[in-house]
Amino acid sequence: MFISSVFVFSLVTLTLALPPTKRAVAYVDPNLGGGSMLDDGRMKVIISGLSSPAVLTDDGFLNFAQAIGFSFECLDLHLGGPQSANLGDGNGYVNQTTELRQDYGDALLGTCLESLIGGNHLRVFRQNGSEADTGALFLAVSKEENVFEGHTIVPDGYNIGRDLLVQNATNTNPLPSFGGVTYSATLEQVTGLLPAGSAGVNHGIATDGVTSVLTVTIV
Q: Is residue 134 included in any domain, yes or no?
A: yes
Q: Total structural domains in the chain?
A: 1
Look at residues 39, 38, 45 and name the one whose alpha carbon lies nearest to residue 70: 45
pTM of the predicted protein model:
0.87
Q: Is residue 12 included in any domain, yes or no?
A: no
Q: Name the DSSP letter for residue 131.
A: T
Q: Is residue 199 included in any domain, yes or no?
A: yes
Q: Is residue 178 included in any domain, yes or no?
A: yes
Per-residue pLDDT tens digits of the chain, which is 219 residues long: 434 444 333 433 433 344 433 448 999 999 999 999 987 668 999 999 999 999 999 999 999 999 999 999 997 776 667 899 999 999 999 999 999 999 999 999 999 999 899 999 999 999 999 999 999 999 999 999 998 887 789 999 999 999 999 999 999 999 999 999 999 999 999 999 999 998 878 778 999 999 999 999 999
d(CA 163, CA 74): 23
Q: Is residue 79 included in any domain, yes or no?
A: yes
**Domain that residue 134 falls in:** 26-218
Residue 6: the pLDDT is 40
Residue 199: the pLDDT is 83
- For 64, other C-beta atoms within 10 Å of its C-beta total 28
Q: Is residue 21 included in any domain, yes or no?
A: no
d(CA 148, CA 17): 62
Q: Is residue 61 included in any domain, yes or no?
A: yes
SS3 assignment, position 218: strand
Q: Is residue 208 included in any domain, yes or no?
A: yes
